[in-house]
Amino acid sequence: MLAIYRLLLRLHPRAFRERFEEEMRSGFDDAAKRGRELWLICDATVSLFRQWVLRSRYRILEADARASLYDGTPRFETIRDIFPRPLSFLYGGMVSLILFAGIVSLSQQGRISSFPGSLSGSEVRHSFSGLWRVTTGIQSIRATPPGRRLTEWIQAYNSGDSATLDRFASLYIAKHPDNPGLVELRIQSWLKSFNRFGPLRLRSIQQSGNNRIVVLAQADNSDWWRIVVDVSSDESHLIQEIAVENLDYSVDFPFGR
């Protein structure tokens, strides 16, 4: 109990500790004789909250003290007199990894997919791989058949021009015999999206093969879009399927603008 109490006292702002720590410990010794340790620990916890949250003066004093010592060198700080054991870092790292693995695993199983702003497991994987590509500067679309078609589609989409999209569709999108009006409907939908969200900018390539490319793009309003293009394997490389999906993720996730 005394160890917990001492720890709570040490977490108090320095100015407060320097003035009252000794007395509070003395008070604890007196009160402990009457079996009131638990009450004292609750009191110290409330005091800790009050000192940091309600008594901002101490934070300012501490900040001033730190600023006066600061010489411009980046550094880490620990609470004075508390020096974590080296093993603590190992344990902390292991716990962080286990928690991270657990969250990713739950996400992959779809158990927390409805969490606001969260991604599904595959999306998390794609996001990290995409982040890696952005970090390393690998963002350009490879000159594969679907890559070329996607580049041309983005140019046509970003023109915001109906005639340009019509021309693109007539040249590169395969006709659906069962639903001949589908292409026209899609063009209308793209124009509506363009007028509403603005041009798309490529942010990340998630998959790039000889017949399929999947990319993430971001619109002017920071919405994220996934674009999937499937092309035929013959020489014409016509677009068999093009899916443009608004991901409805939180702004600027996973990549800043």
Partner 1 sequence: MKDNPLLKFLPLSPATLHILLALAGEERHGYGIMQDVARQSIGHYKLGPGTLYDNLQKLLDQGLVIESIRNTEKESRRRYYRLTTIGRKVLEADLERLETAVHEARANLRHPKPQRT
Tell me if 65 contacts partner 1 by CB under 8 A.
Answer: no
Tell me if 245 contacts partner 1 by CB under 8 A.
Answer: no
The structure tokens 């390539």 sit at 205
CB of 34 to partner 1, least distance (A): 11
CA distances from 56 to 29, 42, 249 (A): 29, 21, 36
Amino acid at 156: A
Question: With respect to partner 1, which residue has the nearer C-beta, 8 or 217?
Answer: 8
Report the candidate in 243, 251, 226, 257 with the shortest Cα–Cα distance to residue 123: 226
Candidate residues 18, 30, 241, 245; the one interacting with partner 1 per rule CB under 8 A: 30
**Quick one: which segment of 24-32, 75-83, 123-131, 202-210 binds partner 1 (CB under 8 A)?**
24-32
Tokens of 214: 């999947």
Candidate residues 47, 151, 159, 208; the one interacting with partner 1 per rule CB under 8 A: 47
Tokens of 117: 């702003």
CB of 8 to partner 1, least distance (A): 9
Tell me if 192 contacts partner 1 by CB under 8 A.
Answer: no
Candidate residues 4, 48, 61, 134; the one interacting with partner 1 per rule CB under 8 A: 48
**Quick one: which segment of 49-57, 105-113, 166-174, 192-200 binds partner 1 (CB under 8 A)?**
49-57
Question: With respect to partner 1, which residue has the nearer C-beta, 18 or 245?
Answer: 18
Amino acid at 77: E
φ/ψ of 33, rounded to 5, equals -65, -20
From residue 4 to residue 23, the character string flagging contacts with partner 1 as x (rule: CB under 8 A) and all else as - is ------------x--xx-xx
Determine the Cα–Cα distance for residues 70 and 15; give it in Å rounded to an integer. Answer: 18
Neighbours of 200 (CB within 10 A): 24
Query: Which residues share a beta bridge with 186?
Result: none
The structure tokens 């927390």 sit at 112
Applying CB under 8 A, the residues found at the interface with partner 1 are: 16, 19-20, 22-24, 26-28, 30-31, 39-40, 42-48, 50-51, 55
